Amino acid sequence: MKVRVHVSLKPGVLDPQGRAIQHALEGLGFGGVNDVRAGRLIELDVDEATSDAALDDMCRKLLANMVIENYRFERVAA
């Protein structure tokens, strides 16, 4: 089954890439964009039996850096 892991910077952590994207949007004439935070989407194809605990472990040990990032994951119906 597919699992989508969303990794994002913790609130309060400066995001230079998000800021650059925001400036670029402004440069293209899009108004009203108050903030941009850039994250990462990782799609896993895992065995049905894979537990939430195992997915948590994957996120904490590799997919996210818990010093600066939060994560959440969702199972996606095929």
Partner 1 sequence: MSGFRSAVITFPGSNCDRDMAVALEKVSGTAPERVWHGQADLPEKLDFIALPGGFSYGDYLRSGAMAARSPIMRAVIDAANAGVPVLGVCNGFQVLTESGLLPGALMRNAAIRFVCRDAQLVVENAGSRFTSRYTSGQAITIPVAHHDGNYFADDETLDRLENEGQVAFRYAENVNGSARAIAGVLNAAGNVLGMMPHPERAIETAHGCDDGRALFESVIAGLVAA
46: helix, strand or coil: coil
71: helix, strand or coil: strand
- Nearer to partner 1 by C-beta: 46 or 68? 68
- Nearer to partner 1 by C-beta: 14 or 78? 14
- Nearer to partner 1 by C-beta: 49 or 61? 61
Q: Residue 48, by phi and psi: left (phi above 0), alpha (psi -120 to 50) or beta?
A: alpha
CB of 48 to partner 1, least distance (A): 26
Interface residues with partner 1 (CB under 8 A)?
Answer: 13-14, 16-17, 20, 61-63, 65, 67-68
